Structure 1
Amino acid sequence: MRSILITGANRGIGLELVRKIVTEKNPQHVFAGCRNINKAEVLQQFAASNSTVRVLELDVTKDATVDAAVLQVSDIVGNEGLDVLINNAGIYNTEPLENTSRNMMQSYFNVNATGPLFITQKFLPLLRQGSISRSASSLGGHNSVLNLTSGYGSIEGNTSGGIYAYRASKAALNMITKSLSIDLRPDNIMAVALDPGWVQTDMGGSFASSTTEECVKRLLQVIESLCEKENGKIVSYKGNILPF
């Protein structure tokens, strides 16, 4: 990993990904995107003591912030491009059918599905350049788009119903990931949906089965082992492929 961009990096899994990648993987650049820089105090403090981290204002629903972030990243990475894009930003709720509204469905799709799609679209030229420069330098491997999904997005795995906005938006993200895996294959860029499991974050709650540190440790092991057979698939933090 020479250069990585992570969305939703101000807390939870995103923040822990930044920490672990910087301290254990020795990257050249880690771009940490967050919706409100002024509220990302912990991330800002970490970046202040780690010169490889650049904090970006990046709201996945606002094209102006995305366009500005693309320019910032491009100015820094130059011809080396971007190696890994981790679409981590997301929102969650457990509202029942009776409380599910049209606006809720639209807002969840905007963040959880179309957000990652258009982030990928905007950063695609840099990802392609990263793939070219990786090949030229004989580093091997694939550049990657990694979309953080959920077991709730599995249609086959849905045995309890409910959670309409979250389930549907993550199922849509899984389909987007599949299409990206096909469209980006000629560029030697993989697209994989990663399920982090139930994690102790603001979204997952304090009773979740794993801490963010445990989750991210296993996610990074999975990321480093990804190969063509996982391209376009849903892969859990345990490394197994989940059903669509």
Structure 2
Amino acid sequence: MLSRSVLVTGSNRGLGLELVKQISASSTPPEIIIAACRDREKATSLQAVAAKHQNMHIVEIDVSDEASYKTFFEDVEKIVSPKGLSLLINNAGVAPKSTRINMVKWKQMMDTFSVNTVAPLMLTKTLRALLTMAASQTQGNDLSVRRAAVINMSSILGSIADNDQGSIKCCHQIFEC
């Protein structure tokens, strides 16, 4: 792994949990792995992975709760200082309960937009000082995960072209109701 420290949001299940498993099992894992989830007590699979790796820390955050960002920053800062955060993987996300156009609700879509679009931006903004700290530890101006990087992930449900699970297909197709 090229990064000294990695933080993965949405680590309690799915892609986030698998990312944490793969990163921690790497032949050259980062010095620090931070697995972020909403509720540490409910994240039993994540706890099992962390129990096997002394370099892994579980930190709680609900990305939809902006009030929790300050505490989250402080928790992460304690773990990564003085070298900063090398890699932030914004993986946490939600899908609306229904993707059928006649079933979807305004609040569901706003919550989905908030968690999947606004939260990664605001979380990156919150952690920017730690990312800058990591970047300043390495010579040069090149873009690299050796310095600091942010990766924003999405699932197939977020794709306009490749999503065949939702009701609104590509522009040339008719809405399914």
Shorter-chain TM-score bucket reads: 0.7 to 0.9
Q: Residue in 2 aligned with 1:95?
A: 99
Amino acid in structure 1 at the alignment position of 2:126 = K
Matches of 1:47 and 1:30 in 2, distance apart?
A: 9
Partner of 1:54: 57
Task: Specify the SS of the correspondent of 1:80.
Answer: coil
State the one-letter code of the partner of 1:146: I
Alignment match, 2:152: 147
TM-aligned CA distance change 1:163 to 1:74, over 3 Å: farther
From 64, 70, 74, give the equivalent of 1:71.
74
Partner SS, residue 144 of structure 2:
coil
Q: Give % identity.
A: 34
Q: Deviations over 1:173-228 (max 9, x none)?
A: xxxxxxxxxxxxxxxxxxxxxxxxxxxxxxxxxxxxxxxxxxxxxxxxxxxxxxxx
**Which has the bigger relative contact order, CA under 8 A and spacing at least 6?**
2
The 1:45–1:103 alpha-carbon spacing in structure 2 relative to 1, beyond 3 Å, is same
Alpha-carbon distance between aligned partners in 2 of 1:139 and 1:160, rounded to the nearest angstrom: 38
Higher helix share: 1
**Which protein is bigger by CA-based radius of gyration?**
2
TM-score (norm 1): 0.60
User: Which of 110, 117, 122 is the aligned partner of 1:113?
Assistant: 117
Task: Please list every run of 5 or more consecutive structure 2 residues that lacks an aligned counterpart in the other structure.
Answer: 169-177
Matches of 2:163 and 2:25, distance apart in 1: 40
Amino acid in the other structure paired with 2:108: M
Q: Which amino acid aligns with 1:22?
A: S
Other structure's SS at 1:115 match: helix
Number of aligned positions between the proteins:
162
- CA distance in 1 between counterparts of 2:166 and 2:38 reads 28
Q: State the Cα distance separating 1:103 from its structure 2 match.
A: 0.5
Structure 1: state its 5+ residue gaps: 165-244
CA distance in 2, matches of 1:70, 1:161: 36
In the alignment, which residue of structure 2 is the partner of 1:184? none
TM-score (norm 2): 0.81
Give me the CA root mean square deviation. 2.4
The equivalent of 1:5 in structure 2 is: 7
